[in-house]
Copies of this chain bind each other. A is one copy, B any other.
Amino acid sequence: MDYPLVIGQMLASGLSAAPDQRITYADQVEMTYAEFGQRVARLGSALASLGLGPGAVVAVMDYDSHRYLESFFAIPMLGATLHTVNVRLSPEQVLYTINHAEDDAILVHADFLPLLLPLLPRMRPVRLILLSDKPVPLPEGFAGEYEELLAEGDAAFPFPEFPETTRATLFYTTGTTGDPKGVTYTHRQLVLHSMGVIACLAPVPGRGGIKLDDVYMPLTPLFHVHGWGFPLIATMLGMRQVYPGRYEPVKLLRLIAEHGVTFSHCVPTILGMLLAAPESEAVNLTGWKVIIGGSALPEGLARQAVARGIDVHTGYGMSETCPILTIADMKATQGATGDTTAIRIATGKAAPLVQIRVVDPEMRDVPHDGVATGEVVARAPWLTHGYLRNEAGTAALWRGGWLHTGDVGNMGADGTLRITDRLKDVIKSGGEWISSLELESIVSAVPGVVEVAAVGVPDEQWGERPVVLVVAKTEVEAAAHAAVAAAIAAGRLSKWAAPERVMTVEAIPKTSVGKIDKKAIRASLAKAG
């Protein structure tokens, strides 16, 4: 008689809580939750009539839209798996993920047809559904157009029942080596992640965290770990939602202003891009709450954001953790009068039901003194069971019964986690482990610095030596060296952290999800010699 934890219940809660609440897609569509619920049922019915039911894998290639949100519910509610395709991968990688996922159908936006169509001959047959924002001819071989299929669908479609351990989602994470790895989540895990994140963010006093009167707009693509789970959370709570479509700074800023967006989440580069856009000056961003994840929030960017009145905090997690494990201490920053930057950029404390440890290679806890570093490992009810058809990767991920994040950090006596680096990005010089993130954070605060990346380059004598790349508005190299020297003098960094070189560059290489691509940087530096 145990009542299953399934995504359909989250939708039902939202529909019951706020039938008249609105969901907006950029400038194109606005609907109520009641209408949204009917569209989800119609989509489920349309997919079922194409033979897509329990066990099927249905891929989506779209911008952040109401359609994507409808897919978040309708596909898993059929007992099928939603495969969120990372459209920023290379065509070969997209092909790899679609074949590895064994997709039965693909919902594809017209803009991505040039990417997808040439790949079709190298896939097994799939059902194709066209998504578009304006009339486009239906390509040959397509089963139909999304809105037309919905119009024919059943607004009272009865979704099936199934166990909470049914797979709901699948997406691919690209490591630094090898093929993309498939990460899957069950209904149970997605419901529990949502409940855990709510228990972490909603009880924050004042205007902090998330509240029922927030206006939500994602700034993390929905293919990236389900938009960090927030679309599910916002829907369950019946929050006002705005989906921005393709990310264009001017449009994003306009949507924030027009709809009074109060809650978003993004990687640091997106926030930096918005703040750097000339149009941002005219937009009042006071009270906009932003969770930063994907990579560390640089101190300089945090200060810039706070100066604009943005209530910014770091979140921490990864594709394999659904993603949220910790959030910076929002209770401490609400209503605080002093400088809260250090709190906002700290990785924070474990969310409810999350267990975090920092361990040495033998899995022994390092001292909780805020200094000793080790690998961060985790347990929580929403961590992926492993990589799809990849036993070796799964075993490495879960060795010793804890999920290994591949991140290096320390833990304070009060349980506050601070990530100091990726295990693979730590710069090992002269027998010391130098945090590339710490170096970046210090240089990011130098006036004129727009972006920064620190990597280790091989050195015969010292193992590795730090090299810092900067994108800057002015000449900053000398100031960057001076800032690091001051940090060394203050005991914040070891003397080995003094960069071998600070190099001003036009742009810093990024991965498909907007993170700094240190592997590419190291490769290009090695090539440059």
Contact = CB atoms under 8 A, between A and B. Distances in A.
A379 B198 contact: no
A155 B245 CA distance: 54
A261 to B, nearest CB: 16
A287 interface: no
A2 B398 CA distance: 12
A16 interface: yes
Interface string A183-213: 0000010011001101100111100001111
Given A13-B353, A16-B349, A349-B16, A210 B203 contact: yes
B205 A213 contact: yes
Contact of A415 (B17, B188, B191): B17
A179 B287 CA distance: 57
Nearest to A196: B195
A189 to B, nearest CB: 8
Contacts of A4: 381
B199 A355 contact: no
B204 A199 contact: no
Do most interface residues of chain A lie in helix, strand or loop, or is the interface mixed?
loop
A276 B149 CA distance: 63
A22 interface: no
A205 B415 CA distance: 28
A19 B349 CA distance: 12
A217 interface: no
A511 to B, nearest CB: 28
A5 B381 contact: yes
A106 interface: no
Given A398-B1, A414-B19, A236 B379 contact: no
Nearest to A5: B381
A165 interface: yes
A376 to B, nearest CB: 14
Nearest to A416: B16
A20 B385 CA distance: 34
Nearest to A15: B415
B199 A203 contact: no
Interface in A346-373: 349-350, 352-355
Nearest to A384: B1
Contacts of A195: 192, 195-196, 198-199, 352
B210 A415 contact: no
Given A188-B2, A212-B331, A379-B3, A9 B203 contact: no
A455 to B, nearest CB: 33
Interface size classification for chain A = 35 or more
Nearest to A413: B19
A419 to B, nearest CB: 17
A20 to B, nearest CB: 8
Contact of A350 (B13, B199, B385): B13
A285 B352 CA distance: 31
Interface string A334-353: 00000000000000011011
A383 interface: yes
A237 interface: yes
Interface in A196-243: 196, 198-199, 202-205, 210-213, 236-237
A386 B2 CA distance: 11
A3 B383 contact: yes
A385 B1 contact: yes
Given A237-B352, A379-B3, A398-B1, A415 B16 contact: yes
Interface string A317-344: 0000000000000010000000000000
A204 B198 contact: no
Contact of A203 (B3, B198, B386): B198
Contacts of A414: 19-20
A192 B4 CA distance: 11
A331 B165 contact: no
A380 interface: yes
A12 interface: yes
Given A203-B237, A414-B19, A2 B352 contact: no
Contacts of A383: 3
Given A3-B383, A383-B3, A352 B415 contact: no
Contacts of A381: 2-5
A82 to B, nearest CB: 20
Nearest to A414: B19
16 contacts: A1-B386, A2-B165, A5-B192, A10-B352, A10-B353, A13-B350, A16-B349, A16-B415, A17-B349, A17-B352, A17-B415, A20-B414, A192-B195, A199-B202, A202-B202, A205-B213
Interface of A: 1-5, 9-10, 12-13, 16-17, 19-20, 165, 188, 191-192, 195-196, 198-199, 202-205, 210-213, 236-237, 331, 349-350, 352-355, 379-381, 383, 385-386, 398, 414-415
